[in-house]
Amino acid sequence: MTYFQEELEAIDRWKHLRQGLFRNEEPSVKLVAVTRPVQEYVAQDITSETLPAFTARQSHESKGTHEDDLRLNRKLIEWGHDTPLQALQFVYHVTGISKSLAGQWTRHKIGIGWTFRSTRYVKASLNTFVYPALEYIDSEDTVKEVYRIYEKEHRHALEVYEKLLAKGVNNQELRRLMPVGWSTSAYVYINARALRHFFKLRLAYAAEWEIRRLAYIMFNKVMEISPTLFEDFAKK
Ligand SMILES: Cc1cc2nc3c(=O)[nH]c(=O)nc-3n(C[C@H](O)[C@H](O)[C@H](O)COP(=O)(O)OP(=O)(O)OC[C@H]3O[C@@H](n4cnc5c(N)ncnc54)[C@H](O)[C@@H]3O)c2cc1C
């Protein structure tokens, strides 16, 4: 099952027109790692998903089955007892996102961190672009025309980049020439509490399309691991 499928399809209604555009890159999200209890606790039926409830039981020194812990996860969220959600950490690898998205994403400060590809150390000639979705334009001809204009600007930016590189200008100054649609990639480290905060703000329609698309994709990944910690967003 894909959550927010309709929303994803609406944003990507012109995706087929982007295929073959100059250095186009679409987003890709992989879940790389998730906190797992060590063997002693796995043997007690504790899973990544039930770590928040299991650790929260400290307050009453209570015990519960796996099913009890799944129920308690839901209760913790309902009560706003969010601290135990910090028991669970996710590592994602995200590629095909723009510098514009990175600018918005890095405004989130609590319980989240990144390692981005450096444009000081990695040359732009290897780089790609994230084209706008233009999902609000209904005319296919207009969208094709707009994409052609973006292509032209992207080619131009890279041409100037290469020209100045040949004159000895460093990557770190050359990157200033690049549009914010220039792509980047990152590993992101985020705990379940911070991820819920990110989803609250970025799954909402008020969020900009690219970061909202990313939030939909990231959401689908964690729903495979720990649905009780995130399913209320799908219900809303
Ligand atoms: C739809 C949308 C539009 C936006 N538009 C703009 C815009 O036009 N311009 C712009 O600059 N930004 C904009 N932002 C960014 C926004 O202002 C936040 O910086 C961003 O969403 C990160 O949210 P946060 O601070 O809650 O997250 P985090 O930094 O992860 O903080 C999480 C929570 O910790 C607490 N917290 C964090 N820092 C402090 C602190 N210093 N003091 C007290 N409590 C703290 C708060 O409860 C906060 O919600 C926009 C965001 C959204 C979702």
Tell me the pLDDT tens digit for each residue of 155-213: 999 999 999 999 999 999 999 999 999 999 999 999 999 999 999 999 999 999 999 99
Q: Tell me, what CATH number does 143's domain have?
A: 3.30.1360.170
Residue 186, in any domain of the structure: yes
Distance between CA atoms of residues 133 and 15, nearest Å: 7
Residue 160, in any domain of the structure: yes
Q: Counting beta carbons within 10 angstroms of the beta carbon of residue 60, is it exposed (0 to 12), middle (13 to 18) or buried (19 or more)?
A: exposed
Quick one: which atom of ligand 1 is closest to the CA of 202? 53
Instruction: Tell me the residue range of the domain where 27 lies.
Output: 5-35+88-235
205 CB under 6 A from ligand 1? no
Residue 183, in any domain of the structure: yes
Residue 208, in any domain of the structure: yes
* The two three-digit tokens of residue 147, written as one number: 């994409």
Q: What is the pTM of this model?
A: 0.96
Question: Mean pLDDT over residues 57-73, rounded?
Answer: 96
Residue 18, in any domain of the structure: yes
Residue 63, in any domain of the structure: no
Residue 163, in any domain of the structure: yes
Q: How many domains does the chain have?
A: 1
- The alpha carbon of 189 and the centre of ligand 1 are apart by a number of angstroms equal to 18
